[in-house]
């Protein structure tokens, strides 16, 4: 065990013995996400470095405190990337561990999958200061409960990530962004029609009467799709557009005082909800609302018949709760998992739910 891991292990052991909560943190790029942070800071950045990378096998193993930008640069040298486009939120300090723990994805999520779909294995510390290993470095490595992917989106409440093995993919040969003038209902209907066709649609975004669709794949496939779909090609500004969506630097995401950013996850066939200023991604499945916090609707009532969930993504006041309350069976599973991995109750206490 190297000195950095040894030091962190001792911190965990001491915190568990004293019952002192720990706030696991990498670069801090996602400090805004989730409930209010609690506990003594435990910096994961000393756990840095790429452990192994096999471009021919499309697998990389990296320590959790490694800068996400560093990993992406190494992959780019071999013409490979993380297809789910994890956001950095304009921070050079975003880490691989934070990427997995937050479980957030960029514009391509609907077509390529989520963070959890690319997690092959993890090494982690539980609150007994035990170093545990789950999964491996190949796709067919799961027998029993898939703990590795369970860590994606857990916001550090189950344990401290030490090392992660990820599947990566080659970058697409061709890419093109098409623009269509459509209102919200027309855009949703069109996206659903295209969803039933063999088109290389990689990402989509609708806002203020404009639908943008990104195509990725073989040159012939992209050209054929453009011919079938029509639209106007966006050239110089396309990369800037998708990066602004990924990093939430687009004007829509700039909040005035008292405003909140709400994320709705709903079936992509859901019609317009007419709840306020809206930006739509993921073929209709992810809908962003920008609302004054005082006027935030009862999202539980809105989503009651939609099989979706809501997140108060950014807000000054989180007292009303950040995540949609879990149904009783799921709540019980979450709490039992927490007891198993964090029996001392010290990891990121209250980050997902105030009493969790």
* Residue 36, C-beta contacts closer than 8 angstroms, at least 6 positions apart: 318, 350
pLDDT digits (tens, 9 = 90+) for 77-105: 999 999 999 999 977 889 999 999 999 99
Beta bridge partners of 135: 121
pLDDT, averaged per 10 consecutive residues of the chain (356 residues), comes to 93 96 95 91 96 96 97 98 95 92 97 96 95 76 71 95 97 97 98 95 97 97 96 93 96 93 93 93 96 72 77 88 88 92 93 82
pTM confidence score? 0.94
H helix or E strand, kind and range, residue 214: strand 210-217
- Distance between CA atoms of residues 19 and 38, nearest Å: 13
- Distance between CA atoms of residues 15 and 25, nearest Å: 15
Q: What are phi and psi of 161, to 5 degrees?
A: -70, 135
pLDDT digits (tens, 9 = 90+) for 244-298: 999 999 999 999 988 999 999 999 999 999 989 999 999 999 999 998 877 766 6
Q: In what order do the strands lie in the sheet with 59-63?
A: 50-54, 59-63, 160-167, 119-125, 131-135
- Distance between CA atoms of residues 178 and 214, nearest Å: 6
pLDDT at 249: 96
Tell me how many helices (H) and strands (E) the chain has: 10, 17
Note whether 141 and 185 are within 8 A (CB).
Answer: no
Note whether 261 and 255 are within 8 A (CB).
Answer: yes
Say if domain 3-170+332-341 classifies as CATH 3.30.465.10: yes
- Distance between CA atoms of residues 204 and 184, nearest Å: 13
The structure tokens 């997690």 sit at 119
CA terminus-to-terminus distance, the chain: 31
- Is residue 198 packed enough to be buried (19+ CB in 10 Å), middle (13-18) or exposed (0-12)? exposed
Domain positions in the chain: 3-170+332-341, 173-254+258-315
pLDDT at 138: 58
Tokens of residue 156, six digits: 């550090």
């Amino acid at each position: 065990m190297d000195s950095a891991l040894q030091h962190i292990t001792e911190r965990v052991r001491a915190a568990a013995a004293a019952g002192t909560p720990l706030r696991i943190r990498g670069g801090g790029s996602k400090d805004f996400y989730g409930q209010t942070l609690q506990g003594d800071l435990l910096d994961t950045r000393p756990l840095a470095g790429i452990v192994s990378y096999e471009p021919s096998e499309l697998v990389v193993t990296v320590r959790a405190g490694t800068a996400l930008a560093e990993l992406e640069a190494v992959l780019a040298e071999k013409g490979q990337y993380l297809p789910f486009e994890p956001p950095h939120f304009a921070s050079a300090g975003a880490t691989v561990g934070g990427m997995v723990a937050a479980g957030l994805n960029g514009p391509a999520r609907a077509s390529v999958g989520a963070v959890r779909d690319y997690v092959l294995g993890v090494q982690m510390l539980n609150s007994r200061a035990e170093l545990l290993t789950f999964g491996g470095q190949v796709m067919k490595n799961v027998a029993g409960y898939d703990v590795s992917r369970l860590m994606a989106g857990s916001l550090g409440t189950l344990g401290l990530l030490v090392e992660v093995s990820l599947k990566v993919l080659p970058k697409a040969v061709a890419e093109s962004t098409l623009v269509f003038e459509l209102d919200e209902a027309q855009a949703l209907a069109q996206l659903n029609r295209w969803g039933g066709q063999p088109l290389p649609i990689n990402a989509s975004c609708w806002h203020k009467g404009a639908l943008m669709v990104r195509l990725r794949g073989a040159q012939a496939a992209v050209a054929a799709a453009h011919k079938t779909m029509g639209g106007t090609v966006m050239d110089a500004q396309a990369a800037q557009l998708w990066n602004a969506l990924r990093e939430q630097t687009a004007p829509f995401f700039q909040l005035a005082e008292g405003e909140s950013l709400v994320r709705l996850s709903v079936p992509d066939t859901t019609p317009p909800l007419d709840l306020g200023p809206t930006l739509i991604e993921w073929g209709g499945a992810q809908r962003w609302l920008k609302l004054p916090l005082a006027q935030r609707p009862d999202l539980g009532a809105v989503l009651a018949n939609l099989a979706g969930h809501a997140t108060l993504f950014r807000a000054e006041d989180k007292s009303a709760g950040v995540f949609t309350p879990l149904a009783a069976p799921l709540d019980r599973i979450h709490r039992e998992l927490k007891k198993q991995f964090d029996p001392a109750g010290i990891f990121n206490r209250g980050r997902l739910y105030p009493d969790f």
